[in-house]
Structure 1
Amino acid sequence: MGADEIHIRPRTRGCVDEEALMRIGIQIPRFTGAGGPEHIGPAFARTAREADQAGLSSLWVMDHFFQIEYVGAPEEPMLEGYSALSYAAAVTERISLGTLVTGVVYRHPGALLKTVTTLDVLSGGRAWLGIGAAWFEGEARGLGLPFPPTAERFERLEETLQIAHRMWSDDESPYEGGHYRLERPLNSPAAVSRPHPPILIGGGGEKKTLRFVAKYADACNLFAGPELAHKLDVLRGHCADEGRPYEDIEKTAIVMVDRESSVDQVVDNLGRLAELGVDHAICTGATDEEGAPAFLGRVAEQAAPIVPAGR
């Protein structure tokens, strides 16, 4: 299936067709506060349950094997993303679940799509596919994972996105790409989400990443920084080029929350992001600390009247 054969259908749940209010998510960036390894599971389960009960829209973990340098030392505890999300699915009922984001070269596309489908089935339709071109060469080299040059990683990303649409459709015909060959992309059981688990692409690359968002994805993920408005304008242009309504893309942004943040400060920041058209704020930073889900629940309550621009 070539890129020109992909037709993205309007979503019926979980993404662009929900009530047009800003959604609040939580990303858990580290697992150091619980103590030794035997305490990580109970602590993570508690955080997931509290986030669910607080009414947050989404729960995310990083898809890394080593801790990233922006957060801590590589030796810090880091859970494998999909195992962690499966565990979270079992202790929650409503919150959606995803990685922010999977490095495309870390898993074969067929196995990755089967993994996300399994999470979606077992969670009752709450999985996202968060994906990007990968960047952390150190962890790849450390564990012996493939890490080809940038151009090839983007080629593999586009093929994986094409395979995702193939496996989440009724088409089992062979896929022949430059890097991947699937003789029969069968995916049974089918995902519970309709038409499929939402696809989120992370990154702000203007020539390829945002073009892939317009062509293949349901959502983008960008940093809530000074370039956000410009990146969204670039995405708007790519949507026009692809004949895709810009409004169909869910705009998610990573929002830093530190220990000193107040509810009012975070809500004010969300209001500014909503003016740019951000639909879904994914909060990170001090979000691994005790009480963070309840704090963000208060943020979500206070931010409930905010309607993102364009909705």
Structure 2
Amino acid sequence: MRQGLCVPNLGEFADARRVAELARRAEDAGWDGLFVWDHVVFPFAPLEVGDPWTALTLAAAATDRILLGPLVTAVARRRPGTLARQTTSLDRLSGGRLVFGAGLGFTLDAEYGTWGESSEPREVARRLDEGLDLLAALWSGDEVDRTGEFLTARKVRFLPTPVQRPRPPVWIGCDWPHRRPLRRAARWDGVAPMMTDPATGTWNATPEAVAELVAAVTALRAAPEEPFDVVITGRTPADDPARAIAEVKAIEAAGATWWLEGFRPGPGEYAAAIARIGAGPAR
């Protein structure tokens, strides 16, 4: 199982240089990836917000090995041409280390309604699917000429292509136990669910819930024997390595392929991330 970190682009993490410092420390300590939230506005508090692509660019320049990416980008609020350029540039800068996390966005009222755009979930979902298909076509380097329900690309060929061929991996975010987004995830390369323990309300998923999700998405995949990532975010203690290892191993046994230590935009969270990185992955 690979292990990484997932941090906000908000509050104490809004400064891209601080995110790059986390990435450098994570690589030195043996972690496998660092992922960054993508919000333009945050609906729950008037926090500082940083651009995730700037943070990921600095993180790529500060590292050589770990995987990097947004978790997740609200594709429906981004123009596909700009997004294709950003993702391709980051993949090339990092030497092929981009993982592209995509989803509807959260909350829809904040991500879309703030700007006078439709926040109707089914419409946003259709825009997401159309955007992902167009993004993959642009990544190919072939000429793209299509007109969809929402998006148009007229005889455009995007060069250079990403380093990764045929394209960077795509992880789809979802809010478990909602099943509809799993159909979308099954068509791509991984699923990154938001999961909580119903008994405690904490961010940590139970092994039972992870096993149920793995079974559900596997049943939807056209080629279940092909590699597919199940990416679980939670929190383990920096000062109790035995407990951290036991918790992560239980999630791995349930079928997860990635464990991400997740941090929130509250006071003291940046220092907590530094401490958890320094303690090393739970292996």
Do Structure 1 and Structure 2 share a fold, with TM-score over 0.5? yes
1:187: how far off?
1.7
Provide closer, same or farther for how the CA distance between residues 205 and 211 of structure 1 changes in structure 2, counting only shifts above 3 A: farther
| Distance (whole Å) between structure 1 residues aligned to residue 258 and residue 116 of structure 2 | 32
Superposition map of 1:116-265 within 5 A = 116-140=87-111, 143-144=114-115, 146-203=117-174, 204=176, 206-215=178-187, 217-222=188-193, 223=195, 224-226=204-206, 227-239=209-221, 243-257=222-236, 262-265=240-243
Provide closer, same or farther for how the CA distance between residues 68 and 249 of structure 1 changes in structure 2, counting only shifts above 3 A: farther
Provide closer, same or farther for how the CA distance between residues 149 and 108 of structure 1 changes in structure 2, counting only shifts above 3 A: same
Structural RMSD (CA): 2.5
The total of aligned residue pairs comes to 268
1:29 aligned residue = 8
| Distance (whole Å) between structure 2 residues aligned to residue 257 and residue 199 of structure 1 | 26
Provide closer, same or farther for how the CA distance between residues 33 and 165 of structure 1 changes in structure 2, counting only shifts above 3 A: closer
Provide closer, same or farther for how the CA distance between residues 206 and 142 of structure 1 changes in structure 2, counting only shifts above 3 A: closer
| Distance (whole Å) between structure 1 residues aligned to residue 278 and residue 154 of structure 2 | 46
1:166: how far off?
1.1
1:52 aligned residue = 27
| Distance (whole Å) between structure 1 residues aligned to residue 39 and residue 210 of structure 2 | 24
Give aligned-pair identity as a percent. 27
Deviations for 1:10-44, whole angstroms, at most 9, x for unmatched residues? Answer: xxxxxxxxxxxx1111112265448xx8xx34433
1:173: how far off?
3.2
| Distance (whole Å) between structure 1 residues aligned to residue 108 and residue 99 of structure 2 | 24
| Distance (whole Å) between structure 2 residues aligned to residue 185 and residue 207 of structure 1 | 35
| Distance (whole Å) between structure 2 residues aligned to residue 284 and residue 135 of structure 1 | 16
1:102: how far off?
0.5
| Distance (whole Å) between structure 1 residues aligned to residue 40 and residue 237 of structure 2 | 24
Deviations for 1:270-294, whole angstroms, at most 9, x for unmatched residues? Answer: 1111111101111113794336356
1:201: how far off?
0.5
Deviating 4+ runs (over 6 angstroms): none
2:255 to 277, 280, 288: 277
Q: Which moved more, 1:115-124 or 1:43-52?
A: 43-52
2:271 aligned residue = 290
Provide closer, same or farther for how the CA distance between residues 121 and 288 of structure 1 changes in structure 2, counting only shifts above 3 A: farther
Alignment TM-score, normalising by the size of structure 1: 0.77
Gaps of 5+ in 1: 1-21, 304-311
1:63 aligned residue = 38
